[in-house]
């Protein structure tokens, strides 16, 4: 599929950079962009792409939310459909078996904050701003923000953010655990690539298993989550990477993981 609003850069280190590009509206998500994101994550070539980084075009905005001009005249059914479309795409993104990072280069508001939260890691530039301003428009977060935000920052702060609709800066987002790190805008992508690079030196099947345990374990009872970890742990002993990784340690040599 040729994308109207997405720029895809497949780097030779296995990192794919997906840039949301709708500069006239600060990269606001219209339904075409949501379909393009859905298409991209549904068809991602995991034999080549080992990590996905998502960012916004320009210096001002990551994604300024869902496109308000498209939503203004929607009825109940269309509102439901829009919520389902975005939430479905973001759920597929969340479930990719590779590390995903949001490089938040500016406004991450409403659906933009929700897109960042569907990634595993968020790294923000100092000029990033986060918020869920939907109640000021007469709606609520509709791309799973009412679910993911409290998982990340706890119910009290999630309710404060959603009920007040206030914007917070990158340092506050760091303090509450919404982002992993904050850096100067010029260093953002290099810092993201450095962190992803560290991840890609490790065993990919192990990372995928850890991601499944963390993502799925949250919604389980303690016994279920621990049982899931037992199973995932055991399965890794059927991989070449486990044999190779442990032998390399014992033989004091460097390891190159194969993802097998
Ligand atoms: C449509 C948007 C937009 C949006 C910005 N623009 N955000 N258009 N939808 N979400 C447009 C503006 O209308 C303007 O167009 C241009 O982008 C530049 O924006 P300005 O407002 O002039 O810039 P600035 O004064 O710097 O303010 C930046 C801003 C502000 C603080 C980010 O634009 C803003 O508050 N945007 C809306 C943020 C928001 O409420 N997001 C949540 C949406 S609801 P023109 O034509 O005038 O140049 C949502 C729900 C998700 O996300 C779930 C749905 C199911």
Average pLDDT per block of 10 residues along the chain, 260 residues long: 94 97 97 98 97 97 98 98 98 98 98 98 98 98 98 97 98 98 97 98 98 95 98 98 96 94
CB atoms closer than 10 angstroms to residue 150: 16
How do the residues of the chain divide into helix, strand and coil, expressed in percent and rounded to 5? 50, 15, 35
**What is the length of the chain?**
260
* pLDDT for 1: 74
Beta-sheet pairing, 167-169 with 129-131: antiparallel
Q: Give the active site residue among 134, 172, 184, 240.
A: 134
Q: To which residue do tokens 């010029």 refer?
A: 186
* pLDDT for 62: 98
CA 153 to CA 179: how far, in whole Å?
10
Instruction: Report the nearest-CA residue for atom 37 of ligand 1.
Output: 64
Instruction: Report the nearest-CA residue for atom 12 of ligand 1.
Output: 25
In the chain, at which residue ranges do the beta strands (DSSP E only) sit?
Answer: 6-10, 15-20, 51-56, 61-63, 100-104, 107-109, 121-125, 129-131, 167-169, 181-183
* pLDDT for 182: 98
Burial class of residue 77 (count of CB atoms within 10 Å of its CB; 0-12, 13-18, 19+): exposed
CA 106 to CA 88: how far, in whole Å?
24
Q: What is the DSSP secondary structure assignment for residue 133, as one 8-state letter?
A: G
Nearest to 54 by CA among 33, 69, 71, 31: 33
* pLDDT for 2: 85
Q: To which residue do tokens 């390891």 refer?
A: 255
Residue 247 in tokens: 């032998």
Q: Which of 58, 59, 65, 117 to mutate to test the pocket of ligand 1 (most atoms within 8 A of CB)?
A: 65
Find the 182 Cα to ligand 1 centroid distance in Å: 23
* pLDDT for 97: 98
Q: State yes or no: is 114 an active-site residue.
A: yes
Q: State yes or no: is 81 an active-site residue.
A: no
Helix (H, G, I), strand (E, B) or coil at 122: strand
Q: What is the CB < 6 Å shell around ligand 1?
A: 25-26, 28, 64-69, 82-83, 86, 107, 109-111, 133-134, 137, 141-143
Q: Which positions ≥6 away from 38 have C-beta within 8 Å?
A: 85, 88, 89, 92
């Amino acid at each position: 599929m040729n994308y109207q609003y997405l720029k895809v850069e497949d780097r030779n280190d296995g990192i794919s950079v997906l840039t949301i590009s709708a500069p006239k509206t600060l990269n606001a998500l219209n339904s075409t962009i949501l379909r393009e994101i859905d298409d991209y994550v549904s068809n991602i070539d995991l034999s080549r792409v080992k990590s996905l980084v998502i960012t916004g075009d320009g210096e001002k905005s990551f994604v300024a939310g869902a496109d308000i001009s498209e939503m203004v005249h929607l009825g109940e059914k269309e509102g439901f459909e829009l919520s389902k479309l975005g939430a479905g795409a973001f759920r597929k993104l969340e479930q990719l078996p590779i590390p995903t990072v949001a490089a938040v280069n500016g406004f991450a508001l409403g659906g933009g904050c929700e897109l960042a939260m569907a990634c595993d890691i968020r790294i923000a530039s100092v000029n990033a701003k986060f918020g869920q301003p939907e109640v000021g428009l007469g709606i609520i977060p509709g791309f799973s923000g009412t679910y993911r935000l409290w998982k990340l920052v706890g119910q009290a702060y999630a309710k404060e953010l959603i009920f007040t609709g206030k914007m917070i800066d990158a340092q506050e987002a760091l303090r509450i655990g919404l982002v992993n790190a904050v850096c100067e805008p010029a260093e953002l992508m290099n810092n993201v690539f450095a962190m992803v690079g560290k991840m890609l030196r490790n065993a990919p099947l192990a990372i995928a298993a850890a991601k499944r345990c963390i993502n799925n374990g949250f919604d389980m009872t303690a016994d279920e989550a621990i049982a899931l970890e037992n199973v995932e742990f055991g399965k890794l002993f059927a991989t070449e990477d486990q044999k190779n990784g442990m032998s390399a340690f014992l033989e004091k040599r460097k390891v190159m993981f194969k993802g097998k």
